Amino acid sequence: DAKTTQPPSMDCAEGRAANLPCNHSTISGNEYVYWYRQIHSQGPQYIIHGLKNNETNEMASLIITEDRKSSTLILPHATLRDTAVYYCIVNRAGTSGTYKYIFGTGTRLKVLA
C-alpha cells in the first residue's frame, strides 16, 4: 500500500514560491498522487492531482519525479490566504475495483508577511 511522507511544517515568504515535497516511494503504477489543503477546520479543498506527467492549474503546479517516488506541489506566488495544512495523498485499491483516498498528517504551511 502506498503511503506518503511530508515534512510537518514549512514557512514561506509572501509573494515567493512555496515548494511542498512529498515522498511516496511505494506508489504503484496505477495510483494517482493528489494534493488537498485544509484551512482552519474547514473541509479539505482539492488542489491538483497527477499520475506521471507534471500538471498545472490555476492554483498550483505538481511536479512528479520520473520514478514517481516523490512529488512537489508548487504555489507560485504564495499569499497569506495560502496558510493551511497541505495533504499529499495516494489512492489505494479497495474492494471491487474501488480506490480509497488515504490521508497522512500533512504539512502545515505558514505564509509570512
Partner 1 sequence: DAGITQSPRHKVTETGTPVTLRCHQTENHRYMYWYRQDPGHGLRLIHYSYGVKDTDKGEVSDGYSVSRSKTEDFLLTLESATSSQTSVYFCAISEGTGGSGNTIYFGEGSWLTVV
Query: Toward partner 1, which CB reaches closer, 8 or 67?
Result: 8
Query: Toward partner 1, which CB reaches closer, 67 or 98?
Result: 98
In the complex, what is the shortest distance from the CB of residue 30 to partner 1, in angstroms, rounded to a whole number? 6
Q: Judge whether 60 and 33 are in contact, CB under 8 Å.
A: no
> Does residue 82 sit in helix, strand or coil?
helix
**Grid-cell match 490566504, residue found:** 81
Query: Toward partner 1, which CB reaches closer, 97 or 113?
Result: 97
Residue type, 28: S
The count of residues in the chain is 113
Residues making contact with partner 1 (CB under 8 A): 30, 32, 34, 41-46, 49, 51, 87, 91, 93-106
In the complex, what is the shortest distance from the CB of residue 68 to partner 1, in angstroms, rounded to a whole number? 14
Query: Toward partner 1, which CB reaches closer, 74 or 102?
Result: 102
Supply φ then ψ for residue 90, to 5 degrees: -125, 130
The number of angstroms, rounded, from the C-alpha of 36 to the middle of its chain's C-alpha atoms is 6
In the complex, what is the shortest distance from the CB of residue 104 to partner 1, in angstroms, rounded to a whole number? 6
* Whole-angstrom distance, CA of residue 59 vs CA of residue 97: 30
In the complex, what is the shortest distance from the CB of residue 4 to partner 1, in angstroms, rounded to a whole number? 10
